[in-house]
Amino acid sequence: MMFLKPYGDTLNDGAIQISFSLPHPLNETSKKVSLELALKMGIANPKITFTQELGEGFSFFIIYGNLSHEIDIDSIKTSKVKEPIIDYWDINRLIEEKFNRKIVIVGATIGSDAHTVGLDAILSAKGYAGDVGLERYPVFQVHNLGSQILPELLLEKIMDKQADVVLVSQVVTQKNIHIHNLTQLVELIEGAGLRDHIITICGGPYLSKELALELGYDGGFGAHSLPSEVASFIARRLLEKSK
């Protein structure tokens, strides 16, 4: 068994720093509360190293201490190792052989979200971080609808273009607007009876594969995703499906 806990300069010292604000003026009470909170988090010997009165009945704290918790590494299960990347040539070849037609991909940022850089990074020929985008793959026919597309309109386009794959981006997450939008889209796709005919993928800096699956998507891609990862995922899914 191997236990892991934070490290400062001595193994197992549990050195940790936290900072937060309290909706209470800076005084003996709020200081005491901040220390009690640290203790409740399992931080032993909490020391307030900095405080600031923020006005309007708020205060800010930086606390250092020693975390008493530790985790048994063997108890940790990670989602299985990353699926290996299928390379550009193989993707084109495999799909060509199997389908003998272009795979239609429709992409959009949905709802009121106007961020397109992430979606373009995956779709546009130029790609991201030196990795070419899906438009560059001869077997993919990409329709990038851009931003602020309402889920209803996206569904229309999916039907219109007879899409095989839909890629949606969500960047704004305040008040869980992304969950709302993504759920709405899945429900629409389901309602139209297309759920089994189309691969659904969502992405964005604050999304994860886990969240995507929970929301009913086939795949999800978070910060720093590469187009080649998305292309491999699509190819693998298509080939699995057509078995």
Q: Which helix (H) or strand (E) holds 154?
A: helix 151-161
Shortest reach from residue 131's CB to ligand B12, in Å: 9
C-alpha span between 221 and 223 (Å, rounded): 7
Catalytic residue among 102, 126, 157, 209: 126
Active site residue 126: yes
Spatial strand order in the sheet of 43-55: 15-22, 58-67, 43-55
C-alpha span between 136 and 112 (Å, rounded): 28
For residue 234, the 8-state DSSP code is H
Q: Which stretch binds ligand B12 (CB under 6 A): 39-47, 80-88, 166-174, 182-190?
A: 166-174
Residue 117 found at the interface with ligand B12 (CB under 6 A) = yes
Residue 116 found at the interface with ligand B12 (CB under 6 A) = yes
Q: Restricting to residues 192-221, name those near ligand B12 by CB under 6 A.
A: 201-206, 221
C-alpha span between 239 and 124 (Å, rounded): 24
Q: Which does 52 bind (CB under 5 to 8 A by kind): ligand B12, other proteins, none?
A: other proteins
C-alpha span between 89 and 138 (Å, rounded): 10
Q: Binding residues for ligand B12, per CB under 6 A?
A: 112-119, 121-122, 128, 167-169, 171-174, 201-206, 221-225, 230
Q: Binding residues for other proteins, per CB under 8 A?
A: 19-21, 52, 54-58, 60, 111-114, 116-117, 148, 172-175, 177, 205, 223
